[in-house]
Structure 1
Amino acid sequence: MIRVVLAVLLTVALLAAVTPAIDESRTSRTAIHLNRVTERVARAANSLVAHEDPTAPGVPGARRLVRLRLLERSWTAVDASLWVDGEDDQIGYRLAGERPHRTTLREIDLRTPNGPIRFDAAGRYRLELSLVRADGVGVVVTRG
């Protein structure tokens, strides 16, 4: 009986010691994943500006598709949301319980015609980026 009690106490103590490390690794893994997503969106926008010619709004032209995935909450990932804000030329994300992380795209006029694009639930998504000439040249981002 004493061995069982000691085994239970030891298990509880080990779990208490390991839980903060698990939470930290879940947060880090999700942040790394979302940093990669924001880098891919930034690279696609930069590629359009550097290599393509802008078109008039509504005219088909060069575009870039960025596929992304928000991870489902699990032992290896935390809840997160992602957004693209054309007003501030930012791509950002927020991990559960953390402050928002923002990446401002310098020298690129991001445009989100219907307001900021938000992804709040786990799943697979697609962004479509196109280079448009209207009131200057801008990278229009829409849900693909």
Structure 2
Amino acid sequence: MIRVVLTCLLAVAIAGVVFPAADAARADATTVKIGSLADDIAHAATTLSAAEDPTPAGVAGAQRHVVLDVPSGSWRAAGVSNLTVRGGDGVELSASVTAGSTVVRRVGGPRTRVAGDRLALGPGEHRLRLTLEAAAGGSVVVIAPATANQSAA
């Protein structure tokens, strides 16, 4: 009987040490994933602006497509309840992690503008379309959600 009680106490003590470490590892994996998503968008924007010429407003020009896989939560990564994409000099991703923390990653690059000022995405796969447009003060990469027809192009 004493062995059973001691075994249960030992199991609870081990679980008390392991579970917080697992949660921290999941949060770290999500932070790395958000940074990777920001890098993907910034890389596409940089290659677009370096290789193409901007077009006037209303004229279809060069595009790049980026697929974002926003974590929904698993044993390996914490879930993201909301991912916000913002522009500026580069791109900024702000993720609200389901554990309650917020992860913000900013990656420099060409001037970007998000259609609608900011883009809010939930968990799952999202396709973005990046286009290069002429604007006052130089060119700007416009980030917008891609429709089914646009993402296949």
> What residue is the counterpart of 1:65 in the other structure?
65
Distance 1:33 1:104, change over 3 A: closer
- Once residues 85 and 3 of structure 1 are traced to their aligned partners in structure 2, the CA distance between those partners, rounded to angstroms, is 58
Structure 1 gap segments, 5+ residues each: none
Cα RMSD (Å) of the superposition?
Answer: 1.8
Equivalent residue runs for 1:58-137 within 5 Å: 58-80=58-80, 81-86=82-87, 89-96=90-97, 97-106=100-109, 108-119=110-121, 121-135=122-136, 136-137=138-139
Alignment of 1:35-46 (within 5 A): 35-46=35-46
TM-score, normalising length: structure 2 = 0.83
> Shift in Å at residue 113 of structure 1?
2.9
The alignment partner of 1:105 has SS state of: strand
* Structure 2 runs not aligned, ≥5 long: 147-153
Pair 1:138 & 2:140 matched? yes
Which structure features the higher share of strand residues? 2
Distance across 1 between alignment mates of 2:65 and 2:20: 37
Take 1:87 and 1:41, find their aligned partners in 2: how far apart are those partners?
13
Post-superposition offset of 1:57 = 2.0
Verify the 8 A CA contact 2:111 2:141 in the aligned structure 1.
Answer: yes
Q: May I ask how many residue pairs the two structures share in their alignment?
A: 142
2: CA distance, partners of 1:75 / 1:113: 34
Equivalence map 1:19-34=2 (5 Å) = 19-34=19-34
TM-score, with structure 1 as normaliser: 0.87
- Structure 1 segments, 4+ long, off by >4 Å, are none
Identical residues among aligned pairs (%): 36
Q: Distance in 2 between matches of 1:23 and 1:51?
A: 42
